Amino acid sequence: MENFLLLENDAIQLNTGVFAGVDAYSRYPAGELLGVRLREPNMLVTHVGELVPAYTETMRRKSKFSVEFHKNGMVKAVALNEQTEIETPIGEFPAELVTFYDTGELHRFFPLDGKISGFWSEEEERALGIPFSFDLGFTRFTAILSGVCFCKSGDIRSVTLFPGETAEVETRYGVITARHGFSLYESGALQSVEPNEPTVIQTPIGAVTAFDTEAVGVSADENSLAFDERGRVTALITVHSKVAVQTGAGELRLFSPTAAVHPLDDDAEFTKGIKISFDYAENAVTLTSGGETGVFSLADCNFHIESAEPAAFGCSPSDCAGCSGNCGAG
């Protein structure tokens, strides 16, 4: 049902305040206010400070609502008119886009919010970036960021790196160079990471080379190489290994990476990896490849790992700019 009131002079009133100079607005299917585009300065008081939503358009910035709302009327996202210092649980950072939970806590901030296109290149956007330094125990690095996500508690949920940036991450399997970023448990332990290069991981079924050609890096909330809070590998994707399984009943199963048409080039192929996940409580492994899935007992089955040669053509960070996939990071 409607949670706002249209006023004279193109203004909209919500329980949280009044927006003046509304150029356009949209509703959820049930009538609640979804978002507004503004053509005049407005001030929002939030958990991260006072924010001025976008009211001017530039060639560089993405076309989006100035302010988006949750169905309960709380602010969901603010595209800032200009980069602004905000107060986060880990200190002050510049931001051009900020998102919030429906109870008001900071969800994500994005230092830059430019639209990579034929009119604005990734190199031009990178030139506006400021490197930031982090020390999270399992990693110490300095890099340009795409964004940082927080839990409601204020603990870091994930750190997404700007395309081309990397960070060294310490794991029980050795130091892994991360691309795209990594995610954390609320305890601060490493939850997942996206390897920048093929990386050998000693798993319960043998040495598997972890690498995902489909990782695009829009958000680092979930990555192909995952761990439990004790640091044990729980999931990975491999395009460089294939797995032969001999079950306790003597059945032989083979899981291999598969070829697929590249989403950006119908004349090229890339390799879809095998998804491997481990359930330590059940002492089992799940293998998925080419639409086939098998769950196997680690105690009752024998596993043999062989090398596989993936297709040379795959996604790169720059491919993301032209991707038509629905990969919203809000």
- Name the more confident of 280 and 119: 280
pLDDT in tens, 7-39: 888 899 988 789 999 999 999 999 999 999 999
Q: What is the pLDDT of residues 81-126, one digit of tens each?
A: 999 999 999 999 999 999 999 999 999 999 999 988 888 999 999 9
Taking the C-alpha atoms of 219, 68, 55 and 130 in order, what is their torsion angle to the nearest 10 degrees? -20
Kindly tell me the sign of the dihedral angle through the C-alpha atoms of 263, 265, 266, 272. negative
Specify the higher pLDDT residue, 137 or 323: 137
pLDDT tens, 264-274?
A: 667 777 789 99
Residue 212 above 50 pLDDT?
yes
Distances in Å between the alpha carbon of 44 and those of 103, 175, 266, 303? 15, 43, 46, 58
Is residue 226 helix, strand or coil? strand
Angstrom distance (rounded) from CA 98 to CA 128: 18
CA angle 244, 212, 279 (to 5 degrees): 55
The domain ranges of the chain are: 4-110, 166-321
Examine the pLDDT at 328 and tell me if it is beyond 60. no
Spatial contact of 268 and 277, defined as CB atoms under 8 Å apart: no
Could you give the CA distance from residue 147 to residue 95 in angstroms, rounded to a whole number? 9
| d(C-alpha 68, C-alpha 96), whole Å | 14
Q: Where are the beta strands (DSSP E) in 213-316?
A: 225-227, 233-238, 241-246, 252-255, 258-262, 265-272, 274-279, 284-289, 292-297, 302-307
Which pLDDT belongs to residue 311? 62
| Contact of 209 with 197, CB cutoff 8 Å | no
Q: What's the pTM value of the predicted model, to 2 decimals?
A: 0.88
Joined tokens for residue 103: 């109870």
Q: Summarize pLDDT for 294-304 with one digit per residue, the tens.
A: 999 999 999 99
